[in-house]
Amino acid sequence: MTFPPADAPGLFIAFEGGDGAGKSTQAALLAQALSDAGRTVLRTREPGGTPVGEKLRSLVLDHGQGEIDARCEALIFAAARAAHATQVIAPAVARGEVVITDRYIDSSIAYQGVGRGLGAAEVQQLNVWATAGLWPELTVLLDVSAEEGRCRRTATEAAEDRLESEPDHFHAAIRQAFLDRAAARPERYLVLPAGRPAGELAATVRTRVLQLLAAREAGAA
Ligand code: TYD
């Protein structure tokens, strides 16, 4: 695996987790806290984040596009990610910004690699190629059970997309896939129970990210 060089001025953070985990809320709270602390923050999401990525997003998530088989689905997510990594994330990190993305490679490994059964290693390889090996320095995993995620999604009343409407056993496999990723590289992950109060989760995330930034700046001094 390759990461942004240790002396890259910015920081790249991903939020991951099952549907209904509250990633967007936590990404927004972290972005606000870092802006308040005087950092330039770029908040983005996948699939999407570029004009081509947003088109690919509706292609792969909206119902009624005709059959999309698993390999095609994995390639669409990877194509959107290639544009996102090259056009948006890498340049912002190089400019010294903190990039916060709602989902990244781990989502493809969990949903397409494990959920769709394409194989975690194969999907990882595809995505390393697509992103030229750009990985986040920290991934915040908001851990949610399939049942809790479904309840939280239902409560918001938004229509479910193609992936969200998969059954609970699909979401349970995805949850385990995320946890396995985090267990394999604990220094790169912050795993939090999504059911805790939003303010408490936000404080834990903020503390970890500020520590990371302080360590980075101490190293650069
Ligand atoms: P998300 O944007 O988190 O959903 P919402 O905007 O409705 O909260 O993610 C959209 C869906 O796409 C989600 O079910 C997970 C899925 N997904 C994949 O299957 N693979 C991927 O690589 C990514 C980025 C998302």
Query: Do β-strands 138-143 and 98-102 pair in parallel, antiparallel, or remain unpaired?
Result: unpaired
Place of tokens 């990210």: 209
DSSP H or E segment with residue 31: helix 23-36
Place of tokens 């520590």: 211
Spans in the chain with pLDDT lower than 50: 6
- Ligand 1 within 6 A of CB of 131: no
**What are φ and ψ of residue 138, in 5° steps?**
-135, 135
- Ligand 1 within 6 A of CB of 60: no
Ligand 1 centroid distance, CA of 150 (Å):
14
Domains of the chain plus CATH, in order, are 11-220 (3.40.50.300)
Ligand 1, atom 5: closest residue by C-alpha: 19
pLDDT on residue 132: 98
Q: What is the maximum span of the chain, computed from C-alpha positions, in angstroms?
A: 55
Ligand 1 centroid distance, CA of 6 (Å):
29
- Ligand 1 within 6 A of CB of 161: yes
Sign of CA dihedral 75, 77, 78, 82: positive
pLDDT on residue 139: 98
Question: CA nearest 114: which of 166, 173, 61, 190?
Answer: 173
Question: CA nearest 97: which of 140, 42, 177?
Answer: 42
- Ligand 1 within 6 A of CB of 107: yes
Ligand 1 centroid distance, CA of 207 (Å):
27
First-residue to last-residue Cα distance in the chain = 26
pLDDT on residue 4: 54
Tell me the CA distances in angstroms from 68 to 62, 75, 79, 109, one per residue in order: 11, 11, 15, 17
Tell me the CA distances in angstroms from 171 to 112, 127, 211, one per residue in order: 12, 21, 32
